[in-house]
Copies of this chain bind each other. A is one copy, B any other.
């Protein structure tokens, strides 16, 4: 594996990894419906504000999420909605595995 291929795969993994956490999956899913500020997401997730802020910074550094300051709050939105395709692929994987029903994904 040459250096260029190595760099490409590390870049790919870095961005995919940004999507590889339940809380961040939730945030992306929620932002696909409407923009939200950090504190709203924190309440929905049920975690500390700082925890959610760090999750969002991971998504922002990956280039997946945008943040826009309006007054006291910072509203988050999806920069690249194509990441939502991850979820439909996940459902394909689960269907092929015959394990979808146990995770409530098909309902």
CA gap between A11 and B91 in the complex, in Å = 10
A25 touches which one: B9, B45, B87 (CB < 8 A)?
B9
Interface flags, A63-107, vs B, CB<8A=1, else 0: 110000000000000011011011111101110110100011101
Instruction: A10-B22, A11-B103, A12-B90 are known; give 8 further A-B pairs, CB within 8 A.
Output: A11-B104, A12-B105, A13-B22, A16-B90, A19-B20, A20-B20, A64-B93, A82-B93
A99 to chain B, nearest CB (A): 7
Contacts of A28-42 to chain B: CB distance below 8 A:
29
Of the candidates A15, A23, A24, the one having the most CB atoms from chain B within 10 angstroms of its own CB is A15
A18 to chain B, nearest CB (A): 8
CA gap between A17 and B22 in the complex, in Å = 10
* Chain B residues in 8 Å Cβ range of A45: 1
- Contact: B1 with A25, CB < 8 Å? no
* Chain B residues in 8 Å Cβ range of A82: 88-89, 92-93
